[in-house]
Structure 1
Protein backbone atom coordinates (compact mmCIF):
# COMPACT_ATOMS: atom_id res chain seq x y z
CA UNK A 1 0.00 0.00 0.00
CA UNK A 2 1.19 3.52 -0.81
CA UNK A 3 0.25 6.47 1.38
CA UNK A 4 0.39 10.07 0.10
CA UNK A 5 2.41 11.62 2.91
CA UNK A 6 3.28 15.17 1.94
CA UNK A 7 3.77 17.84 -0.67
CA UNK A 8 6.89 20.00 -0.39
CA UNK A 9 7.03 23.50 -1.83
CA UNK A 10 10.51 24.91 -2.42
CA UNK A 11 10.60 28.51 -1.25
CA UNK A 12 13.03 31.32 -0.56
CA UNK A 13 11.99 31.80 3.08
CA UNK A 14 10.53 28.82 4.95
CA UNK A 15 9.50 30.81 8.05
CA UNK A 16 7.71 33.45 5.96
CA UNK A 17 5.88 30.79 3.94
CA UNK A 18 4.77 28.84 7.01
CA UNK A 19 3.57 32.05 8.65
CA UNK A 20 1.63 33.00 5.50
CA UNK A 21 -0.24 29.65 5.44
CA UNK A 22 -0.94 29.90 9.17
CA UNK A 23 -2.40 33.39 8.80
CA UNK A 24 -4.13 33.05 5.44
CA UNK A 25 -5.65 29.59 5.93
CA UNK A 26 -5.56 28.89 9.66
CA UNK A 27 -3.16 25.92 9.57
CA UNK A 28 -0.84 25.27 12.50
CA UNK A 29 2.86 24.58 12.24
CA UNK A 30 4.07 21.13 13.10
CA UNK A 31 7.71 22.22 13.19
CA UNK A 32 10.47 24.21 11.55
CA UNK A 33 14.00 22.83 11.52
CA UNK A 34 16.64 24.62 13.62
CA UNK A 35 18.30 25.73 10.36
CA UNK A 36 14.96 27.17 9.14
CA UNK A 37 15.40 25.31 5.86
CA UNK A 38 12.45 22.93 6.29
CA UNK A 39 9.03 23.22 7.91
CA UNK A 40 5.70 21.41 8.06
CA UNK A 41 2.10 22.41 8.68
CA UNK A 42 -0.63 20.30 10.23
CA UNK A 43 -3.18 20.15 7.40
CA UNK A 44 -4.96 16.85 7.88
CA UNK A 45 -3.85 13.43 6.68
CA UNK A 46 -1.43 14.83 4.09
CA UNK A 47 1.29 17.22 5.26
CA UNK A 48 2.06 20.48 3.51
CA UNK A 49 5.80 21.13 3.85
CA UNK A 50 8.26 23.81 2.80
CA UNK A 51 11.95 23.49 2.05
CA UNK A 52 14.39 26.24 1.23
CA UNK A 53 15.61 26.66 -2.31
CA UNK A 54 19.15 26.21 -0.99
CA UNK A 55 18.16 22.80 0.42
CA UNK A 56 16.57 21.95 -2.93
CA UNK A 57 19.83 22.85 -4.66
CA UNK A 58 21.60 20.24 -2.53
CA UNK A 59 19.05 17.59 -3.52
CA UNK A 60 18.73 18.49 -7.22
CA UNK A 61 22.24 19.06 -8.49
CA UNK A 62 21.02 19.66 -12.06
CA UNK A 63 18.82 22.52 -10.82
CA UNK A 64 15.08 23.04 -10.81
CA UNK A 65 12.48 25.55 -12.02
CA UNK A 66 11.66 28.02 -9.27
CA UNK A 67 8.14 29.28 -8.63
CA UNK A 68 7.66 33.03 -8.80
CA UNK A 69 4.77 35.49 -8.96
CA UNK A 70 6.48 37.07 -11.95
CA UNK A 71 6.07 33.87 -14.00
CA UNK A 72 3.01 31.85 -14.96
CA UNK A 73 2.05 29.26 -12.34
CA UNK A 74 3.11 25.66 -12.72
CA UNK A 75 0.51 23.24 -14.11
CA UNK A 76 -0.20 21.94 -10.61
CA UNK A 77 -2.23 23.24 -7.70
CA UNK A 78 -2.80 22.68 -4.01
CA UNK A 79 -6.50 22.31 -3.18
CA UNK A 80 -8.06 23.46 0.09
CA UNK A 81 -11.63 22.36 0.76
CA UNK A 82 -13.62 24.94 2.71
CA UNK A 83 -17.24 25.70 3.53
CA UNK A 84 -17.20 29.39 2.56
CA UNK A 85 -15.00 30.11 -0.47
CA UNK A 86 -15.52 33.93 -0.58
CA UNK A 87 -14.67 34.25 3.12
CA UNK A 88 -11.46 32.21 2.85
CA UNK A 89 -10.54 34.00 -0.38
CA UNK A 90 -10.88 37.39 1.34
CA UNK A 91 -8.79 36.26 4.30
CA UNK A 92 -6.07 34.82 2.06
CA UNK A 93 -5.80 37.99 0.00
CA UNK A 94 -5.62 40.10 3.17
CA UNK A 95 -2.38 38.25 3.96
CA UNK A 96 -0.90 38.66 0.49
CA UNK A 97 -2.41 35.96 -1.73
CA UNK A 98 -3.02 37.13 -5.30
CA UNK A 99 -6.39 36.36 -6.88
CA UNK A 100 -6.23 34.37 -10.11
CA UNK A 101 -9.93 33.58 -10.40
CA UNK A 102 -12.92 34.82 -8.39
CA UNK A 103 -15.36 32.19 -7.02
CA UNK A 104 -17.33 30.37 -9.71
CA UNK A 105 -19.97 27.68 -9.27
CA UNK A 106 -19.16 24.70 -11.47
CA UNK A 107 -21.92 22.72 -13.27
CA UNK A 108 -21.58 19.96 -10.65
CA UNK A 109 -22.29 22.45 -7.84
CA UNK A 110 -18.79 22.98 -6.48
CA UNK A 111 -17.65 26.57 -5.82
CA UNK A 112 -14.04 27.18 -6.91
CA UNK A 113 -11.63 30.13 -6.72
CA UNK A 114 -7.89 30.35 -7.35
CA UNK A 115 -5.10 32.35 -5.73
CA UNK A 116 -1.33 32.34 -5.78
CA UNK A 117 0.69 32.37 -2.60
CA UNK A 118 3.68 34.62 -1.81
CA UNK A 119 5.95 32.34 -3.83
CA UNK A 120 3.65 32.06 -6.85
CA UNK A 121 2.27 28.58 -6.10
CA UNK A 122 -1.31 28.03 -7.29
CA UNK A 123 -3.96 27.28 -4.67
CA UNK A 124 -7.53 26.19 -5.34
CA UNK A 125 -10.01 27.22 -2.65
CA UNK A 126 -13.14 25.16 -3.12
CA UNK A 127 -16.15 23.53 -1.57
CA UNK A 128 -16.39 19.77 -1.26
CA UNK A 129 -17.44 17.88 -4.39
CA UNK A 130 -20.80 16.36 -3.59
CA UNK A 131 -21.67 12.87 -4.76
CA UNK A 132 -22.26 13.15 -8.48
CA UNK A 133 -24.54 10.53 -9.96
Structure 2
Protein backbone atom coordinates (compact mmCIF):
# COMPACT_ATOMS: atom_id res chain seq x y z
CA UNK A 1 0.00 0.00 0.00
CA UNK A 2 3.02 2.26 0.13
CA UNK A 3 3.39 5.38 2.20
CA UNK A 4 -0.22 6.46 1.85
CA UNK A 5 -1.89 3.73 3.92
CA UNK A 6 -4.39 4.74 6.56
CA UNK A 7 -3.72 4.47 10.29
CA UNK A 8 -6.45 4.48 12.90
CA UNK A 9 -6.10 7.70 14.88
CA UNK A 10 -9.29 7.99 16.96
CA UNK A 11 -12.19 5.96 18.26
CA UNK A 12 -14.93 8.47 19.08
CA UNK A 13 -17.82 7.43 21.30
CA UNK A 14 -21.00 9.51 21.32
CA UNK A 15 -22.33 9.78 24.89
CA UNK A 16 -24.83 11.87 26.87
CA UNK A 17 -22.14 13.26 29.26
CA UNK A 18 -18.52 13.30 28.09
CA UNK A 19 -16.99 13.99 31.51
CA UNK A 20 -18.93 11.20 33.25
CA UNK A 21 -17.91 8.79 30.49
CA UNK A 22 -14.24 9.75 30.76
CA UNK A 23 -14.24 9.53 34.56
CA UNK A 24 -15.84 6.07 34.34
CA UNK A 25 -13.16 4.86 31.90
CA UNK A 26 -10.48 6.32 34.16
CA UNK A 27 -11.86 4.43 37.17
CA UNK A 28 -12.90 1.20 35.44
CA UNK A 29 -10.02 0.70 33.01
CA UNK A 30 -7.19 2.86 34.44
CA UNK A 31 -7.06 5.10 31.35
CA UNK A 32 -5.75 8.62 31.87
CA UNK A 33 -7.72 11.68 30.81
CA UNK A 34 -5.70 14.10 28.71
CA UNK A 35 -6.26 17.26 30.79
CA UNK A 36 -5.58 19.69 27.94
CA UNK A 37 -8.52 18.22 26.01
CA UNK A 38 -11.13 17.96 28.78
CA UNK A 39 -14.18 20.10 27.98
CA UNK A 40 -17.93 19.59 28.07
CA UNK A 41 -17.92 18.78 24.36
CA UNK A 42 -14.75 16.68 23.95
CA UNK A 43 -12.58 14.52 26.20
CA UNK A 44 -9.60 12.46 25.08
CA UNK A 45 -8.18 9.43 26.90
CA UNK A 46 -4.55 8.32 26.75
CA UNK A 47 -4.59 4.79 25.33
CA UNK A 48 -1.38 4.52 23.35
CA UNK A 49 -1.25 4.77 19.56
CA UNK A 50 -5.01 5.30 19.10
CA UNK A 51 -6.92 7.99 21.00
CA UNK A 52 -10.24 7.17 22.66
CA UNK A 53 -12.43 10.28 22.72
CA UNK A 54 -15.93 11.10 23.97
CA UNK A 55 -18.25 13.68 22.43
CA UNK A 56 -21.93 14.52 23.01
CA UNK A 57 -24.71 12.72 21.15
CA UNK A 58 -25.83 16.09 19.76
CA UNK A 59 -23.19 18.46 18.50
CA UNK A 60 -22.32 20.17 15.21
CA UNK A 61 -20.38 17.26 13.67
CA UNK A 62 -23.13 14.73 14.38
CA UNK A 63 -25.69 17.06 12.79
CA UNK A 64 -23.51 17.29 9.67
CA UNK A 65 -23.53 13.51 9.24
CA UNK A 66 -27.23 13.10 9.99
CA UNK A 67 -26.95 12.24 13.67
CA UNK A 68 -25.86 9.08 15.44
CA UNK A 69 -27.64 6.13 17.00
CA UNK A 70 -30.45 7.10 19.39
CA UNK A 71 -29.66 7.07 23.13
CA UNK A 72 -31.53 3.78 23.64
CA UNK A 73 -29.44 2.02 20.97
CA UNK A 74 -27.24 0.46 23.65
CA UNK A 75 -24.12 -1.18 22.27
CA UNK A 76 -25.02 -0.34 18.66
CA UNK A 77 -22.91 2.83 18.89
CA UNK A 78 -19.50 1.21 19.31
CA UNK A 79 -17.61 -1.73 20.75
CA UNK A 80 -14.42 -0.75 22.53
CA UNK A 81 -11.61 -3.30 22.80
CA UNK A 82 -8.97 -2.87 25.49
CA UNK A 83 -6.05 -5.24 26.18
CA UNK A 84 -4.69 -5.93 29.67
CA UNK A 85 -1.88 -8.09 31.07
CA UNK A 86 -4.34 -9.57 33.62
CA UNK A 87 -7.86 -9.86 32.15
CA UNK A 88 -9.38 -11.41 35.29
CA UNK A 89 -8.20 -8.52 37.46
CA UNK A 90 -9.32 -5.94 34.88
CA UNK A 91 -12.78 -7.55 34.69
CA UNK A 92 -13.23 -7.65 38.47
CA UNK A 93 -12.02 -4.08 38.85
CA UNK A 94 -14.30 -2.73 36.11
CA UNK A 95 -17.32 -4.41 37.71
CA UNK A 96 -16.34 -3.13 41.16
CA UNK A 97 -16.59 0.47 39.94
CA UNK A 98 -19.87 0.14 38.05
CA UNK A 99 -19.37 -1.73 34.78
CA UNK A 100 -22.08 -4.32 34.10
CA UNK A 101 -20.88 -7.88 33.46
CA UNK A 102 -21.77 -9.33 30.07
CA UNK A 103 -19.46 -12.36 29.68
CA UNK A 104 -16.91 -13.76 32.13
CA UNK A 105 -13.24 -14.10 31.13
CA UNK A 106 -12.74 -17.05 28.79
CA UNK A 107 -9.66 -18.53 27.12
CA UNK A 108 -10.02 -18.43 23.34
CA UNK A 109 -8.51 -20.83 20.79
CA UNK A 110 -6.42 -18.00 19.33
CA UNK A 111 -4.42 -17.80 22.61
CA UNK A 112 -6.20 -14.83 24.11
CA UNK A 113 -8.37 -14.43 27.21
CA UNK A 114 -11.47 -12.28 26.56
CA UNK A 115 -14.46 -10.98 28.53
CA UNK A 116 -17.10 -8.31 28.06
CA UNK A 117 -18.69 -5.59 30.20
CA UNK A 118 -21.03 -2.67 29.53
CA UNK A 119 -20.02 0.86 30.44
CA UNK A 120 -22.35 3.36 32.09
CA UNK A 121 -23.81 4.24 28.65
CA UNK A 122 -24.51 0.58 27.74
CA UNK A 123 -21.62 0.39 25.26
CA UNK A 124 -19.89 -2.98 25.07
CA UNK A 125 -16.27 -2.99 26.24
CA UNK A 126 -14.20 -6.05 25.36
CA UNK A 127 -11.33 -6.75 27.74
CA UNK A 128 -8.68 -9.02 26.31
CA UNK A 129 -5.19 -10.22 26.99
CA UNK A 130 -2.45 -9.52 24.51
CA UNK A 131 -2.51 -12.25 21.85
CA UNK A 132 -0.32 -15.18 22.82
CA UNK A 133 -0.19 -14.18 26.52
Provide TM-score, normalisation by structure 1: 0.85
1:120 aligns with 122
Q: What does 1:30-69 align with in structure 2 at a 5 Å threshold?
A: 30=34, 31-33=37-39, 36-55=40-59, 57-60=62-65, 62-68=66-72
Aligned match of 1:7 in 7, 11, 24?
11
- Is there any run of 5+ residues in structure 1 with no aligned partner, and where? none
Match of 2:33 in 1: 29
Deviations 1:10-34 (A, max 9, x none): 000001000001111111111212x
- Structure 2 residue aligned with 1:84: 86
Give yes or no for contact 1:82–1:126 (8 Å, CA) kept in 2. Answer: yes
Q: 1:127 to 1:40 in 2, by over 3 A?
A: same
CA–CA separation in structure 1 for the residues paired with 2:100 and 2:44: 22
- Aligned counterpart for 1:103 among listed residues 102, 105, 119: 105
TM-superposition CA deviations, 1:53-76 (whole Å, max 9, x none):
12154333x3321354xx552285
Q: Give, in angstroms, the shift of residue 119 of structure 1.
A: 0.8
Structure with greater proportional helix content: 2
Shift of 1:37: 1.0
Aligned mates of 1:11, 1:59 — CA distance in 2: 17
Match of 1:93 in 2: 95
Structure 1 distance, partners of 2:77, 2:112, is: 21
Q: Which aligned segments of 4 or more residues in structure 1 are displaced greater than 3 angstroms?
A: 56-60
Gaps spanning 5+ residues in structure 2: where? none
Shift in CA distance, 97/67, structure 1 to aligned 2, threshold 3 Å: farther
Deviation at 1:130, TM superposition (A): 2.0
